[in-house]
Structure 1
């Protein structure tokens, strides 16, 4: 599949390109010794995963990011195979980012991250011309945690907002949020109208674990706050509306990419003009679907979630 075979994008995702090394130990890690494990390599990166899920749900989408030069052709083809228009820059000094995810017995994850070429994203990689004819720009928070990429991404966000293009953001990592400071992140994302934190990220950003206080704080700064609460489902709120959706019961294999699938399901429904309650319902269904397979992206044989019919 070539880029010309793909439809003109309605949406642009800006974020990270990673190779995920997913490790499932047969038991607790043994310090200083061996533990048998199942280990697999998967295409990853939160932004890439989000774009792949959006394409899976029928949204014409482009992805912008940066990779090591030797991986450029392979990474572009992986995105095209997922139905995503690749807009990748090649880095001659850094290698493509890599992440190690270690899965616990209950399928929760711990991460070790080498950002690699992602930290070289710059203004030349994000020309304002890529905003032409877009309806929505989504920014993965990972693109904001390093000064160089942050300046380039913020400039594009500001122009998108000035052109009337909806801008959305997800914080992506509570660890990096704590490192850069939540107040800084809130300032960097002031051009976004929708934020998609998970429960831990919402607590970090707001300084509160009280759900009502999180909603009050975030909706004072964004038009819509959509909080992913894992097994407890999710909620979406504006200053006048607060809605909740329960998470479907599924047999969880791997939670990698569940939040990315949720976001894609929600935004796909929003771009289709659906009401917020439908968007939320489709988001939790998509997130649940993602937990039933290894890796953070849909596979070729995955059916669309059942909510893609009439709700």
Structure 2
């Protein structure tokens, strides 16, 4: 039987601008611009559904046209979205500037910060695995909901993975606080910048960072290295895989696709190498097109 995954985090509208070159201050910069569904948790849920994994997304949107459209997209893709819209905030919006293989995000989380802790805890019951985007933990408004999801998962025996989400907010809350919140999870995912924040080692080797975090947390840790592949560290040792060749059009959502590929394989019995290989292939597929969804 395929494990049901519940994903907790953000569902927003992404305004993705793939720039023709570096932005030119005080004048025009040519770009290809798309309005798409976004949010780390929502993207991961969409990719899990693409892998034919039963998945529920717990995320808040506003009672507006944007929120209705975002939920409809996910339901059409096979994602269960049980939480009702919120009348007290608009659906969140993120402006994504992609250029030269990198992306910068300008974020208005909107209704995403209004996740209800009780509703989240109740909806976790009955799933097999919780995947928590780090964003709820990194904002004061949604932190109680993120912690409630973790507590409910522990109480009901779910396995748990957490994505560290974003280096900037991680620095603001501090590595010690974040690591205290996620201690006891089964798997932590972080990119190079996030791993540097969490280990306090900006120039550290990714393998060393993964080992350090795995030892600290008593969990498996994956450090995503982009075009350099990925590293898995746990009590059994270290596994590394290269990234497959890819033409980078838009890196938005590549880490979310990576997480979904990894979870889909791992929860169906794949070992760390097979899981990382599937994750890297999903990430390569994601960067080859504009937008963060399959």
Q: TM-score, normalised by structure 1?
A: 0.89
Partner-residue secondary structure (3-state), 2:179: helix
In the TM superposition, residue 87 of structure 1 has moved relative to its aligned partner by 2.2
CA shift for structure 1 position 8:
10
CA shift for structure 1 position 45: 0.4
Partner of 2:268: 272
Quote the RMSD (CA, aligned, Å): 1.7
Cα offset for 1:292? Answer: 0.8
How far 1:33 sits from its partner (Å)?
Answer: 1.9
For the pair 1:94 / 2:73, whether they are aligned, the reply is no
Q: 1:286 aligns with which of 278, 282, 286?
A: 282
The superposition leaves residues 110-160 of structure 1 with CA deviations (integer Å, 9 ceiling, x where unpaired) of 1111111111112243142x2333110000001111223211221221121
Provide runs of 4+ in structure 1 moved above 6 Å: none
- Say whether the 8 Å CA contact 2:206–2:223 is kept in structure 1: no
In 2, the alpha carbon distance for the partners of 1:234 and 1:212 equals: 9
State the shift of 1:9 in Å: 7.4
The answer to whether structure 1 residue 50 and structure 2 residue 53 are counterparts is no
- For 1:260, the equivalent position in structure 2 comes to 256
Contact between 2:3 and 2:129, CA under 8 Å: does it hold in 1? no
Deviations 1:256-310 (A, max 9, x none): 1111111100100011111111111111111111111110000xxxxxxxxxxxx
Distance in 2 of aligned mates of 1:69 and 1:80: 16
- 1:186 maps to 179
**Separation in structure 1 between the aligned mates of residue 28 and residue 286 of structure 2, nearest angstrom:** 30
- 1:78 is matched with 73
1:223 aligns with 2:219: yes
Of the three residues 67, 84, 87, the one matched with 2:61 is: 67
- 1:88 deviates by 2.7
Q: Distance in 2 between matches of 1:200 and 1:265?
A: 21
> In the alignment, is the contact (CA less than 8 A) between 1:137 and 1:165 conserved in 2?
yes
1:87 partner SS:
coil
* Contact persistence 2:2–2:53 (CA under 8 A): no
Please show how residues 150-229 of structure 1 align to structure 2 within 5 Å.
150-208=143-201, 209-220=204-215, 221-229=217-225
Counterpart pick for 1:37 among 26, 31, 51 = 31
**What secondary structure sits across from 1:284 in the alignment?**
helix
TM-score (norm. length: structure 2) = 0.94
Q: Distance in 2 between matches of 1:119 and 1:90?
A: 13
Unaligned runs of 5+ in 2: none
Identify the residue that residue 114 of structure 2 maps to in structure 1. Answer: 120
Question: Aligned pair count?
Answer: 290
